[in-house]
A and B are shown apart, each in its own frame.
Chain A
Amino acid sequence: MTDISKTHLSPPSSSSSSRSHPKPGVVYSTKGEFDIREHYCKLLSQDPSKSMPIAAIESLSALCDATRAGTIHELMSTIEDGAEALKKSIPNAISLTAGCDLFKRFIIAHAHDDPKDFEAFKQQLQANGHLFAQRAREARDKVAEIGADSIKDGVTVFCHGHSRCVLGLLNKAAEAKARFNVIVTETRPSKLGLRTAKELRAAGIPVAVVDDNAMGYALKKAKMVIIGAEGVFGDGSILNILGSYQLALVAKAYNRPVYVATETHKFVDIFPLDQFNMPVQQNIIDFDPPKDIEGATPQDQQDFVDHVPRHLIKGLITEAGLLTPQQVSDKIVAMRFE
Chain B
Amino acid sequence: MSLGNYQAGGEDADAVVLRSQVIEDYETPENSSLNRHLPGAYLSHQINYLTSARPMATAMGNTIRWLKTEISKISPDITDEAAKRHLVNAIENFIHERLTAAGDVIINTTCERYIEDHDVILVFAKSQLVEKTLLEAKRRGKQFRVIVVDSHPLEEGRNLLACLCENGIEAEYIHLYALDFGMQGATKVFLGANAVMANGALYSRSGTAVVALAAQAKGVPVLVLCETVKFSEKINIDGIVNNELAPPDLLVNVSRHKEFPEPGYLEGWRDVPNTMVVNFMYDVTPAECLTLVICEHGCVTAEGVSAVLRMSGMDR
Residues of chain A at the chain B interface (Cβ within 8 Å):
234-236, 269, 271, 273-274, 277, 310, 326, 329-330, 333-334, 336-337
Give Cα distance in the complex from A274 to B312, angstroms: 28
Q: Which of B113, B291, B297, B301 contacts A336 (CB 8 A)?
A: B297
Task: Give the residues in chain B near A336, CB-CB below 8 Å.
Answer: 297-298, 311
B26 located at the interface, meaning its Cβ lies under 8 Å from any Cβ of chain A in the complex: no
B260-316 CB contacts (< 8 Å) to partner A: 291-292, 297-301, 303-304, 307-308, 311-312
The answer on a CB contact under 8 Å between A273 and B301 is no
Give, as a whole number of angstroms, the nearest-CB distance from A175 to chain B: 37
Task: Give the residues in chain A near B308, CB-CB below 8 Å.
Answer: 333
B114 located at the interface, meaning its Cβ lies under 8 Å from any Cβ of chain A in the complex: yes
The answer on a CB contact under 8 Å between A337 and B292 is no
Give, as a whole number of angstroms, the nearest-CB distance from A272 to chain B: 9
Instruction: Give 14 A-B contacts (CB < 8 Å), ordered by A residue.
Output: A235-B299, A271-B298, A271-B299, A273-B114, A273-B188, A273-B223, A273-B292, A277-B114, A326-B303, A334-B307, A336-B297, A336-B298, A336-B311, A337-B312
Task: Give the residues in chain B near A271, CB-CB below 8 Å.
Answer: 113, 292, 298-299
Given A273-B114, A274-B221, A337-B311, A330 and B304 contact (CB-CB distance below 8 Å): yes
Closest to B308 in A: A333
Q: Which of B114, B291, B303, B311 contacts A334 (CB 8 A)?
A: B311
Q: Which of B223, B291, B297, B304 contacts A329 (CB 8 A)?
A: B304
A-facing mask of B94-114, CB < 8 A → 1, else 0? 000000000000000000011
Task: Give the residues in chain B near A337, CB-CB below 8 Å.
Answer: 297, 311-312
Best-surrounded residue of B221, B307, B312 (most CB of chain A within 10 A): B307
The answer on a CB contact under 8 Å between B114 and A333 is no
Give Cα distance in the complex from A326 to B291, angstroms: 13
Majority-rule SS of B interface residues = mixed
Q: Which of B113, B188, B311 contacts A333 (CB 8 A)?
A: B311
Give Cα distance in the complex from A337 to B48, angstroms: 36
B213-229 CB contacts (< 8 Å) to partner A: 221, 223
Best-surrounded residue of A273, A274, A310, A326 (most CB of chain B within 10 A): A273
Give, as a whole number of angstroms, the nearest-CB distance from B273 to chain A: 49
Residues of chain B at the chain A interface (Cβ within 8 Å):
113-114, 116, 188, 221, 223, 291-292, 297-301, 303-304, 307-308, 311-312
**13 further interface pairs, Cβ-Cβ under 8 Å (given A273-B188, A274-B221):** A234-B300, A271-B299, A273-B114, A277-B113, A277-B114, A329-B300, A329-B303, A330-B304, A330-B307, A336-B298, A336-B311, A337-B311, A337-B312
Give Cα distance in the complex from A211 to B299, angstroms: 38
Closest to B313 in A: A337
Give Cα distance in the complex from A326 to B221, angstroms: 18
The answer on a CB contact under 8 Å between A273 and B291 is yes
Give Cα distance in the complex from A334 to B300, angstroms: 10
Given A333-B311, A336-B297, A337-B311, A273 and B221 contact (CB-CB distance below 8 Å): yes
Given A271-B299, A326-B301, A326-B303, A235 and B292 contact (CB-CB distance below 8 Å): yes
Closest to A234 in B: B299
The answer on a CB contact under 8 Å between A236 and B298 is no
Best-surrounded residue of A236, A277, A330 (most CB of chain B within 10 A): A330
Closest to A279 in B: B113
Give Cα distance in the complex from A277 to B307, angstroms: 25
Task: Give the residues in chain A near B301, CB-CB below 8 Å.
Answer: 234-236, 310, 326, 329
Task: Give the residues in chain B near A273, CB-CB below 8 Å.
Answer: 114, 188, 221, 223, 291-292
Task: Give the residues in chain B near A269, CB-CB below 8 Å.
Answer: 298
Give Cα distance in the complex from A330 to B297, angstroms: 13
Give Cα distance in the complex from A277 to B292, angstroms: 13
Give Cα distance in the complex from A235 to B305, angstroms: 12
Give, as a whole number of angstroms, the nearest-CB distance from B143 to chain A: 16
Closest to B219 in A: A274
Give, as a whole number of angstroms, the nearest-CB distance from A76 to chain B: 21
Closest to A338 in B: B311
